[in-house]
């Protein structure tokens, strides 16, 4: 027997997916390009953007979790 949509275990992943999707859309609206769509990657990109003082671009910049004040200053000097 298949529980189908009545299976309550399916609700949480859908809610989590929608929350991550909304966070990703918000980040993209701010010009931020995370390295992935997981909540952790989005939060890392937002934090990196705050540290950099400009939107983070995962396709052109080092991994977001590696960006701190020191690396942000170096990136600014190099024009990255």
Q: What is the pLDDT of residue 59?
A: 92
pLDDT in tens, 4-48: 555 555 566 888 889 999 999 999 999 999 999 899 999 999 999
Q: What is the pLDDT of residue 40?
A: 95
pLDDT at 52 over 60: yes
Give the pTM. Answer: 0.79
Question: What is the spatial distance between Cα 13 and Cα 68, in angstroms, rounded to a whole number?
Answer: 32
**Between 1 and 80, where is the model more confident?**
80
Nearest to 35 by CA among 54, 62, 68: 62
Q: What is the pLDDT of residue 45?
A: 97
Q: Give the Å distances, CA to CA, from 29 to 24, 32, 39, 46.
A: 9, 7, 16, 12
In three-state secondary structure terms, 12 is helix
Compute the C-alpha angle 55/58/60, nearest 5°. 95
Boundaries of every domain in the chain: 10-78
In three-state secondary structure terms, 33 is strand
């Amino acid at each position: 027997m298949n529980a189908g949509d009545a299976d309550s275990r399916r609700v949480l992943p859908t809610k989590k997916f929608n929350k991550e999707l909304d966070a990703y859309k918000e980040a993209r609206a701010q010009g931020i390009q995370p390295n992935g769509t997981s909540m952790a990657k989005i939060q890392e990109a937002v934090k990196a953007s705050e540290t950099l003082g400009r939107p983070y671009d995962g396709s052109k910049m080092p991994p977001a979790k590696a960006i701190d004040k020191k690396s942000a200053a170096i990136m600014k000097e190099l024009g990255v």
